[in-house]
Structure 1
């Protein structure tokens, strides 16, 4: 059972093909780190991993998408692509918290943190790979959690503020971990889900209000 895995919740533009028939095996993966080019990079990445896996769109059983948390613009690119493909192919979509793509497989109590911009991080706490707190968004200095260490791009950026040991890897969500989070639903042929983005805060861009007169 082949699934397309997409995640654009971080600067890493991720596309992969995974076989989840028994266990999870990633057949092809492309991860390009560029926080300003999600829209330009994702479609070619999808085409490339399909070619590398020797598969076509009609071979896909589902799309697994990281739903964030993540910045508004980048996250939207991945989710719009996922929805468009599932509608065109008539296959289900399954959403996964993108932080789970970092926390799955960790041992002990681990803080997962990705860069939320504005000098903040998106965060969650995992105990032996299971999320037990979060997701949330906060300034690193305001985080008060009981953990052994931290992982993720946000943790690396603010390691001095967090005051925790930080693993170099994983830095961005793993396609294998994201696929594993959805594998049971795919195998059971569970109904597809609405891909609701975890923005956790309002987007930077807002609709301008009514103009006020310069003079009264």
Structure 2
């Protein structure tokens, strides 16, 4: 008799690079996401909110894949999310795909400019082409620039700034082109 439980089909995405704690969960037949402004309290809230997401979905706390927002963000913020994702992946035997947090800021279709505040009149931004809510090409790679220079570089593209990352956008980006060999980026 085989007593092994079936392999989980769920995928978890998380991002802790911004003042928001962003999570998304997809599984056959459903999806859930949340984004909560937590300031610098990512470490205090991440585990309980992740558990709650699985409970609300009626799923066991296990996923076959994780997608992590790799920043740019605060040194501590991005490391909290990365450490948590790597710990879960090790316990669950899951893979971890990394994707820039900026990809979670895209909204809509076509050319999109996205940025996060890098202080002192600077932003950390990128310009992407987006199709079906997923980045399909990088027009200008993520980099730190003055706001004025970035807006000139972005041209007429809609510019989405400083918002909460969309967990499902991050998750779908990770599935489409997430990197297994990722590194963290800091503001």
Q: TM-score, normalised by structure 1?
A: 0.71
User: Is residue 112 from structure 1 mapped to residue 121 from structure 2 by the alignment?
Assistant: no
The whole-number CA distance in structure 2 between the counterparts of 1:106 and 1:54 is 30
Please give the secondary structure, in 1, of the residue aligned with 2:112. strand
* 1:195 Cα offset (Å): 4.1
Shift of 1:95: 0.6
Rounded to whole Å, the distance in 2 between the matches of 1:137 and 1:150 is: 15
TM-score by length of structure 2 reads: 0.81
Residue 161 of structure 2 corresponds to residue 152 of structure 1:
yes
Give the structure 2 partner of residue 176 of structure 1. Answer: 168
> Residues 11-40 of structure 1: CA distance to partner in whole angstroms, max 9, x if unpaired?
110122113x6xxx7622221112221111
**Off by >6 Å, runs of 4+ in structure 1:** none
Shift of 1:118: 4.2
Contact 1:12 1:32 in 2 (8 A): yes
Secondary structure of the 2:43 match is helix
Is contact 1:14–1:42 with CA below 8 Å preserved after alignment? no
Is 1:16 aligned to 2:24, yes or no?
yes
Q: Distance in 2 between matches of 1:113 and 1:184?
A: 21
Contact 1:152 1:172 in 2 (8 A): no
Q: 1:111 to 1:38 in 2, by over 3 A?
A: same
Structure ranking higher on relative contact order (CA contacts 8 Å, 6+ apart): 2
CA contact (8 A) 2:32 2:57 kept: yes
2:157 is the alignment partner of 1:140? no
Partner of 2:33: 29
Alignment of 1:3-152 (within 5 A): 3-19=11-27, 27-58=31-62, 60-103=63-106, 106-128=108-130, 129=135, 130-143=137-150, 144-145=152-153, 146-152=155-161
What is the 5 A alignment of 1:193-212?
193-199=180-186
Aligned equivalents of 2:118, 2:49: Cα separation in 1:
24
Q: Which has the higher strand share?
A: 2
- What is the CA–CA distance in structure 2 between the aligned matches of 1:116 and 1:26, rounded to whole Å? 36
SS in structure 1 opposite 2:44? helix
**Distance in 2 of aligned mates of 1:132 and 1:76:** 27
Give the C-alpha shift of residue 127 in structure 1.
2.7
